[in-house]
Chains A and B, each alone.
Chain A
Amino acid sequence: MPNITIPDHVPPELVHDFDIWKMPAKFTNPHDYWLTLRDTEVPRIFYTPRHGGHWMLHHFEDTLEGYRDTDFFTNFPNGIPARPGGADKLIPVEIDPPEHVKYRNVLGPAFSPAAVKRIQDRIRGRVIELIAAVIENGQCDFAQQISGRLPTTVFLNMMGMPMADFDAIMEMEHSFLRGADRDAQKDGADRILAYVSGFIDTQAAAPGDDVTGVLLRARDENGRPWSREEIVNTAFLLYVAGLDTVTNMMSFIWYYLAQDAVKRRFVASHLDSIPKFVDELMRLGVPAVNARRVRRDGIWRGVFMKANDAVLNAPMNANRDPLYFQNPDAIEWDRDNARQQIGFGAGPHRCVGQHLARQEIVITLEEWFRRIPDFALDPGRPLNPYLGNIMGFANLPLNWSVA
């Protein structure tokens, strides 16, 4: 355990050493590491001294309520530890209700089910291109060539950003989220902010018919245009929240399917039903945790917390809570509460891109299984898993038979 003092208000029986940024080498799958919290004697709500110290909510009911309870918890700052650089405040995720409603009211229509439906043909076209580029090889690095590329393409398209910037955007994102140390992460965050700021400025004179244009035309309830800082901070959030999250949710889903021939056969023979059972796959594929801070001293679900205590919601564990999901580690297509999975969070800060992510995953499942119904993990190549506020695989080597 790190040599730091446990705060006086934290009883020793609620202390458990767990590092969200580093796992023992014996683990390949970050979820397996996280599930040690479920499968060993760990308090329902516990305090880990790592990264400045924070509480952990990892059971379903606690985590759901942790998301919903914006009276006891504030969303700022949203990371553990706090973000090293980039925008001062992520909009809307680090803005508390009721102020955040004005931002959700602008972003909501831009990412609504209807808005996503309008771009689904473009998403499908890009998915088909990505699969076509690898199918004859009989192998691919799914994380690098499919799941790592689709969300960025869709993001660029929605924001109106030039596709020529694809590689630079990927590099900055990876530096920010997976940089070797805080300096590297700060460098990535600051470069993303500079890129987004510069792009916003190029569009300000003539906003386009895209999400950047939506932000530039946005008005608050009094008709006041959003400030440049509000626009840039919102665009920064869309950048950092929408790329690696969808990428890793997809990678986790393919990782699990690659190890289960029965489930693969089911998906391949039920292509028309994928929108109905994708929730069950997303329940297992959670890639992110979400931090909160305590607003005031008080007892929350039986635990005394002090103002400014950091709290982490762990939805990947909540979605595997056997008290809420029976046989939680299994893919069960007819699970009646699969839609209640909280991989996209809950409460007023539930992911604004949830419908877009869902549609990207549905379309990729449909087009992949139409062409590659059977595949496996390549045991000879490493997955290079990583942890943090977003977790996943840097590589996901798959192979399949080519006719």
Chain B
Amino acid sequence: MRQWRCFFCNYVYDEALGDPDSGIAPGTRFEDIPEDWYCPGCGVTKADFALIEE
């Protein structure tokens, strides 16, 4: 499972945890999040996230 970081607010999307408050189940791969999802921290879209390299 990977993690992705929001450029603007540093919120981390952890694929293992998902984003249940936004309807994204634990285990959801970042690529599978709907395009209209937005960052729970600051509202930006998926395009503003970058993969956190191991």
Contact among A114, A348, A351 with B36 in the assembled complex (CB-CB below 8 Å): A114
Nearest to A108 among chain B residues (CB) is B43
Nearest to A115 among chain B residues (CB) is B36
Which A residues lie within 8 Å of B36 (CB)? 112-114, 117
Nearest to B36 among chain A residues (CB) is A114
User: Complex: how many Å from CA A132 to CA B24?
Assistant: 44
Contact among A108, A112, A346, A351 with B9 in the assembled complex (CB-CB below 8 Å): A346
B47 touches A350 (CB 8 A): no
> Would you list which residues of chain A between 336 and 372 have a CB under 8 Å from chain B?
339-340, 342, 346-352, 354-355
Q: Write out, one digit per residue, whether chain B residues 1-44 have a CB within 8 A of any chain A CB (1) or not (0).
A: 00000011110000000000000000000000001101011111
Tell me if A68 counts as interface (CB < 8 A to partner B): yes
SS class, residues of chain A in contact with chain B: helix
Nearest-neighbour CB distance to chain A for B46, whole angstroms, equals 10
A339 touches B48 (CB 8 A): yes
A112 touches B44 (CB 8 A): no
Nearest-neighbour CB distance to chain A for B47, whole angstroms, equals 6
- Chain B interface residue number, banded: 10 to 19
Q: How many residues of A contact B (CB 8 A)?
A: 21
Nearest-neighbour CB distance to chain A for B34, whole angstroms, equals 9
Which B residues lie within 8 Å of A117 (CB)? 36
Which B residues lie within 8 Å of A351 (CB)? 43
B41 touches A348 (CB 8 A): yes
Contact among A68, A114, A340, A354 with B43 in the assembled complex (CB-CB below 8 Å): A354
B38 touches A348 (CB 8 A): no
A340 touches B9 (CB 8 A): no
B38 touches A112 (CB 8 A): yes
SS class, residues of chain B in contact with chain A: loop
Which A residues lie within 8 Å of B35 (CB)? 113
A350 touches B7 (CB 8 A): no
Nearest-neighbour CB distance to chain A for B45, whole angstroms, equals 6
User: Complex: how many Å from CA A340 to CA B44?
Assistant: 11
User: Complex: how many Å from CA A375 to CA B42?
Assistant: 37
Nearest-neighbour CB distance to chain B for A341, whole angstroms, equals 10
User: Complex: how many Å from CA A67 to CA B6?
Assistant: 14
Which A residues lie within 8 Å of B8 (CB)? 67-68, 342, 346-347, 350
A348 touches B42 (CB 8 A): yes
Which B residues lie within 8 Å of A346 (CB)? 8-9, 42
Which B residues lie within 8 Å of A347 (CB)? 8-9, 41-42
User: Complex: how many Å from CA A278 to CA B47?
Assistant: 14
Q: Which residues of B contact A (CB under 8 A)?
A: 7-10, 35-36, 38, 40-45, 47-48
Question: 27 interchain pairs (CB within 8 A)?
Answer: A67-B8, A68-B8, A68-B10, A104-B43, A108-B38, A108-B43, A111-B43, A112-B43, A113-B38, A113-B45, A117-B36, A339-B7, A339-B47, A339-B48, A340-B7, A342-B8, A346-B8, A346-B9, A347-B42, A348-B9, A348-B41, A348-B42, A350-B8, A350-B44, A354-B44, A355-B43, A355-B45
